[in-house]
Structure 1
Amino acid sequence: ASAETTMHTNNWAVLVCTSRFWFNYRHMANTLSLYRTVKRLGIPDERIILMLVDDMACNSRNKYPAQVFNNENHKLNLYGDNVEVDYHGYEVNAENFLRVLTGHHEAAVPRSKRLLSDEGSHILLYMTGHGFKELLIMVDTCQAATLFSQLHSPGVLAIGSSMKGENSYSHHLDSDVGVSVVDRFTFYTLAFFEKLNMYDNASLSSLFTSYNPTLLMSTAYYRTDLYQRKLEEVPVTNFFGSVMETIHTDLAYRTTRSRKTSETKMPLQQSVEHDERRQLINSNVQDQTSDTKIEDKQCPFTRRWNAFQDKLEKIERIDSLVNYGLIIMFPLLLISTWLSL
């Protein structure tokens, strides 16, 4: 139904804070300010989807726990008792955001997290954050160029499948499915990228010039006046490929730090070894003291026998052992001779 014939029956609000970390406190305050406003003007919580990527109210650096303010007089606590956050933390991501807008949720997602709008709904979409460095908008629709006329932000590059007054067409029909399965603009975009890998240096200019009006059956439209760089110098992987953030470290600082760490460990290790030796010496002294006390309690014969055993344990030569044997046998020989008389 057209906007003129459909009755306006309800309003919805999707409020998104895309920033995390304490220094982005203001972005959460922005979102909660809009949240409070739409509730005050009559939109109930069941028709508000609130997405907060971080919880500034409970941050350890917050001087006012469980409170968020948008004014230095601190008169209005935006984080009152009636705040209902639908998506928080890592739930706030591109996938869930798109699922909210398109309604393509998993079965387990409750109704409170869904945008249950209908043909009579007006929807407010509010987003706050740091935005982007560069943005490439690619649209495959009929009269796609008309979507770019109100763009004014620097760093934006736009490409559409058709000019104003032109239609965009499907590429081919799947007889088994019974419908067309891909549009021409998207089909030839994919054909361009299928020839590339992540290490190729194909430029955005080569992508834009690859569209053939005869094959598209429409004229691809480009808007480049807001984009500061030359398309010939920008690889397509700047938008379509992965980029890795490299964190540079100071090698000299790392070397100094490791040297200080080793110097710290050495005295500690020496101290430990010294303590171990001291404990060992104390243990030996204690053992010797305890042995002396035990010897004092023994009889003279037992002490002599123990001393004799200690001497035997210290014998290292066979000759000495024989001599000790003869010494022991001599008294026995005298006794046996005396008894035989």
Structure 2
Amino acid sequence: MQAAWRTVILGLYWRLGVPDSQIVLMLADDIPCNARNARPGGVYHSTTHTIDLCANGLEVDYKNEEVTVGNFVRVLTGRHPPGWPISKRLGSSNTSRVLIYMTGHGGDEFLKFHNHEEISSEDLAHTLQDMKTAGRYQDLFFVVDTCQGGTLFRRFRTPGVLAVGSSGQGENSFAHQNDMVLGVALVDRFTDASCQYLHKLADRATAPQLSSPLGLLSQVPLSMLLGSYNPVQLKSTPVLRSDLFEASREDEAEEVGGLGDRNVAYLSKGSYITHANTQAAAPPCRGTGSDLGPQKTLLNKTAIY
């Protein structure tokens, strides 16, 4: 049900005001049209089935067998064949803020594609280095929701990258909301926690906030999002890596007040998203590299896998 989790994130982007033109969506399976879907044509985030995430149409840029490691890397690096459709390209530049949100099955330093191909932490490290060299981003926020997700950015070494994983080494990332009608879990716990927090912000948002270039998404302090994760509820420990991002922002971070944070950096201009899911007092996010503390925020165009 990986496609359902990605569709949940896509629905959130729409609600927060991010247009389709700034999203590259990759779905390795076709849940709405799957013969085993008890509610054909629909994808849901809740067992109440009150909101169909496909009701207003779903623009999928890469689907089924198009979702390969090669195509994912080409989207990020921009190395497409001549005549490749604009809608399948990530039109970012050296002033862009890019969000990469990946979900699927994975393990220690790898993520699977179609269960017969995988991308490694070293593969991703080389890809991000190529992106930086080619001027494909200014800042990049990498989020991965998979088992041992925090290991997938272990090999990263390119400045300007901030990374969050749903679980640490040796930990699984668990599904949430078992739907007895559909016979599957609807979403992963990490993705669900992210969506629940951002939906609450959207409920309180004003029209001017939602009509900004990236809507409310560009105005959320990252420290508040990270602080909303509860390891007991997630059954895993989210992992943060901020050393590469901190080093690149020492002389560049825009300092703004608000929400109790000091020196919160809101990164909103020219960003891109690539999307190729109990009341413990435990720290909500484990850091690697230098600690983010209560300080940073990010977001702009998207590629989703």
| Greater strand content | 2
For Structure 1 versus Structure 2, the TM-score category normalised by the shorter chain is 0.3 to 0.5
TM-score normalized by the length of structure 1: 0.34
More helix as a share of residues? 1
TM-score, L = length of structure 2: 0.38
